[in-house]
Chains A and B, each alone.
Chain A
Amino acid sequence: MRFVLTLCLSALLVIGTGCGSSESPPAARSVTDALGRPVSVDSSVERVVSLAPNLTELAYAAGGGDRLVAVTTADDYPPAVDTLDRLSALPVDFEAVTAQRPDLVLATDQVNPPGDTDTFEALDVPIYFFSFSSLDDVFDGLRTMGSLLGTEAAARDSVRALQRRLSCLRVRTDSIPLPERPRVLVLIGDQALYSFGAGSYIHTLVEAAGGRSITDSLDTEAPTLSEEFVLTEQPDVIVGAWGSSYNPDTLLAHHPTWDVVPAIRNGRVYSLPPDLLLRPGPRLVTGAARMATRLHPTLAPASTSCPRDTVTRTASSTTVSSAP
């Protein structure tokens, strides 16, 4: 009893808030994040700090971008982030985050160490962790973002639009028979062969783009492939997250034994902007659409009932980026 009292007193001294009383801000609700932690969030969130670029994109897609006050130094999308404050996320700059006086910090276990929650709790900064392993997680995350930021309706619309674009893509690729679906290897690194293992959202993207991902049955979540693996698997297409200006010849220079791999032999090494593949966020659908144009250059155009914007945007940027 005395111990609890001392704890209350010291908490009072340090933080200056009541202990065990009901004086907490009006109508705070408790939500459970992806780590299974209860997080107490104000009903009206006004100052949000995002600790990962994909969370920033999700916040904007959910219609709550105006609540963001600071993002990471790696953020570059949407352009509106240019006016926001920047802070270091890896390792996280606790001082800078606290100085923003946020009423919610957004984090994801793919970027931020879950152990940081203890420090944030001690600082009395509410932090919510997201986790994305499938494309559905991204849509769920978008809805969650809407409910956290108080923009449920906008988030729902956004999810619906994304799902529509995805199903439009699927309609076009579903008719492709299995033998014509290329076996695709998606790589993150060109020298060290970082890739995606079982349970990753990337396999859903490849499948929606009309291909078959060859790493979907690997046990490790983030495998580093061996050159042997690629040689024996013989992928028909290699898609890399190396940016639009990547020269595909570099890949063969790094891995000279791959001259017998069909993807290299047939000149089917494509590089896409990393953000479209590596950020589990709203632009993954654009990534899938771009991948589809590479896997199936002669793919039938989208039907008129589908949103044209993705397709035309994809087509125009493809011409820019396809120059090797």
Chain B
Amino acid sequence: MKRPWLVGFGLVGLLVITLGGTVAIGGTPIGWSAVYRVVGHHLLGVGGPIDPVTDRIVWNLRLPRALLAGLVGGGLAIIGVAMQTLVRNPLAEPYILGISSGASASASFFYLGFLPPVLSKSLTMSVAAFLGGLATITLVYLVARNGPRVSVARLLLAGVAMSALMGALTSFVTFSSPEPDKLRAVLFWLLGSLNGTRWAQLPIPAFTTIFGLGTLLVLARPLDAMLVGEESAQSLGMPVEALKRGLIVLAALVTGTLVAVSGAIGFVGLIVPHAVRLLVGIPHRRLVPLSFLVGALFLCWADLAARTLLPAQELPVGILTALCGVPFFLVLLRQRSYQFG
């Protein structure tokens, strides 16, 4: 029982190092000492006067971006865990099941001015993305449901079909809008990007992701029981139907708010929980927090690669996660005997 703690502490350490590293690496070469003087200046108030340009690059451009990468990666990973438990199949994932595309379509409707803003712009965008994601996953789930069981084939097919439909809607609204940066907008909403992250974008996704993490931790035992089987969970006196509905809403909430700031980044929720299960097994009290950490690490590194792979160019990070994720998905699809654990 020591191992999960050891793994957990190791991952936390690795995440801190990763965040520090990604802040120090970028298109502009900045010395590590200068980077940490800026961070120290803001966090601890130590250090003398700092160069304003370095300050802006490190504190206003790289750090919020690295933190958002961590949040998005961690959030998508734990929602992957929740979806896989919900349908009791390791192939479920917010991107594959269409939540991301639905959220993306809805958010792009708003972004391009087809929906009016209510309260603040970022809040409306998040709400729109949440509702779009919720509508999509509800539809997919209803199509795939067969009595108490969920048909995996139907679930995946419905997810893929809804993804395609929502992707088409996103492209349609983007191309029919007067916005001049059409291609960029399509790339953002369909492939995901963390480019241009601001501090102001962080609070909403941070709140929902932490909320999702907490909820899934509280629900760790019921989720374990769900994996064994709905009948046995029901016989233990658990409100299985309510739990399922709650998971769907939670998945739409977290995915929607993340998509609103980062676009549709796929396959994080597929790869990460699988890798973590290999490390620490299936109990959710370990799987959920460790998936969060590994997801955060994974997307931080993927975003670093997206920023630095091509000189003077930036790739949408979704390209990289798809490059890692799709082969993984196909292998899982082939391994029909895959069981949790």
Interface on A for B, CB 8 Å cutoff?
Answer: 189, 191-192, 218-220, 223-229, 231-232, 234, 256-258, 260
Contact = CB atoms under 8 A, between A and B. Distances in A.
A36 to B, nearest CB: 28
Contact of B181 (A192, A228, A260): A192
Interface string B231-254: 000000000000000000000000
B292 to A, nearest CB: 29
A-B residue pairs, 6 tightest by C-beta: A257-B56, A228-B28, A260-B52, A257-B60, A192-B184, A232-B28
Given A189-B180, A191-B181, A231-B53, A218 B28 contact: no
A189 B182 CA distance: 12
A259 B312 CA distance: 23
Contacts of B181: 189, 191-192
Nearest to A197: B312
Contact of A228 (B57, B184, B198): B57
B40 interface: no
Contacts of A227: 57, 61, 196
Given A189-B181, A219-B312, A258-B56, 8 more contacts: A189-B180, A224-B313, A225-B312, A226-B28, A227-B61, A227-B196, A229-B28, A231-B53
Interface string B196-218: 10100000000000000000000
Nearest to B51: A260
Contact of A220 (B184, B196, B312): B312
Contact of A219 (B28, B57, B61, B311): B311
Contacts of B60: 256-257
Contacts of A189: 180-181
B113 interface: no
A260 B60 CA distance: 12
Nearest to B58: A228
B313 A220 contact: yes
26 contacts: A189-B180, A189-B181, A191-B181, A191-B184, A192-B181, A192-B184, A219-B312, A220-B312, A224-B313, A226-B27, A226-B314, A227-B61, A228-B26, A228-B57, A228-B61, A229-B27, A229-B312, A231-B57, A231-B61, A232-B53, A232-B57, A234-B53, A257-B56, A258-B56, A260-B53, A260-B56
Contacts of A224: 313-314
Given A191-B181, A192-B184, A260-B52, A231 B28 contact: yes
A164 to B, nearest CB: 35
Contacts of B56: 231, 257-258, 260
Interface in B1-50: 26-28
